[in-house]
């Protein structure tokens, strides 16, 4: 069996919690992702290509916020003042080491389970090209409500976001999907004000995928575009890895 197939089988058969906590990046098995482990596994350019899910060669503000919680880096790197970052702008303005540091929210020099979510996602995309990502079923570069609700359920979204498997979402975990609207979603759903949204709370106030779509559709054009859907791409890929997916019939196109 080829090394790639061995890796894919390992990802497909591992338990979801263990796989999310470590992934193939955690070469020493300590449950943390070090900078050395990341630099040995990818280049900055490979990471950017993995993040560019619509293939247009651009990274948008919404994607930066979903990566790091704030948009400061977008404005710092955006040398021409338009609505997106080119790969050149990013690679001229930061190194892979700088990229890693943006995920190290507590500044301890390593990435724990929640901090490593996006880096693990990037690694999975780089290492597993066989993982099919059919969310954008018609290939138009944007996500519709039907494309999302036909592929994944709300419970599956919650499970994919729950990086440590404790049946509740921290703000860091929720940020992967919600980006700039994370704080508002947490405030709305955290009924006991403990700083976490457990799965029961996540279903309160009639919250569902359609309502989430509305929150992420910042320009109200009924599509997630210009980076608005980046969180759903990350969640979908994690769901495929967790469940051993990666192919099969597309529920929209057949």
19-45 pLDDT per residue, tens:
343 468 999 999 999 999 999 999 999
User: pLDDT tens for residues 173-227?
Assistant: 999 999 999 999 999 999 999 999 999 999 999 999 999 999 999 999 989 988 8
pLDDT digits (tens, 9 = 90+) for 34-87: 999 999 999 999 999 888 866 788 998 888 887 888 899 999 999 999 999 999
Q: Which CATH architecture has domain 154-242?
A: Orthogonal Bundle (1.10)
d(Cα 71, Cα 65) in Å, to the nearest integer? 5
Q: Is 114 helix (H, G, I), strand (E, B) or coil?
A: coil
Give the strand pairing for 33-34 and 110-111. antiparallel
Cβ density class 70-95: b for 16+ within 10 Å, e for less: ebebbeebbeeeeebbbbebbbeebe
Hunting for tokens 């350019």 — which residue is that? 45
Tokens representing residue 78 in the block: 């955006």
**What average pLDDT score do residues 117-129 get?**
82
- What is the value of pTM for the model shown? 0.60
Contacts of 23 (CB under 8 A, 6+ apart): 11, 33, 116, 120, 123, 124
How many whole angstroms separate alpha carbon 213 and alpha carbon 202? 15
Domain ranges of the chain: 33-130, 154-242
pLDDT recorded at residue 134: 72
- CA quadruple 174, 84, 50, 244: dihedral sign: positive
């Amino acid at each position: 069996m080829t090394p790639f197939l061995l890796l894919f089988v390992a990802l497909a058969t591992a338990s979801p919690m263990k796989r999310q906590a470590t992934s193939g990046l955690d070469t020493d098995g300590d449950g943390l992702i070090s900078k050395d482990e990341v630099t040995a596994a990818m280049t900055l350019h490979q990471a950017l290509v993995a993040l560019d899910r619509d293939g247009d060669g651009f990274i948008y503000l919404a994607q930066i916020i979903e990566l790091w919680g704030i948009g400061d880096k977008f404005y710092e790197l955006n040398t021409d003042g338009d609505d997106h970052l080119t790969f050149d702008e990013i690679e001229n303005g930061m190194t892979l080491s700088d990229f890693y540091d943006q995920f190290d929210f507590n500044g301890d020099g390593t990435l724990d389970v929640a901090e490593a979510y996006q880096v693990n996602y990037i690694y999975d995309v780089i290492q597993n090209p066989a993982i099919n990502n059919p969310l954008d079923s018609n290939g138009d570069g944007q996500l519709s409500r039907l494309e999302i609700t036909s592929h994944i359920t709300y419970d599956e979204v919650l499970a994919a976001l729950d990086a440590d498997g404790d049946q509740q979402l921290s703000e860091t975990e929720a940020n992967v999907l919600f980006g700039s609207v994370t704080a508002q979603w947490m405030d709305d759903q955290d009924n006991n004000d403990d700083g976490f949204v457990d799965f029961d709370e996540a279903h309160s106030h009639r919250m569902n995928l359609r309502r989430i779509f509305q929150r992420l559709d910042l320009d109200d054009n009924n599509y997630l575009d210009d980076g608005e859907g980046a969180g759903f791409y990350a969640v979908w890929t994690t769901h495929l890895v967790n469940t051993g997916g990666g192919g099969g019939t597309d529920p929209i196109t057949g």
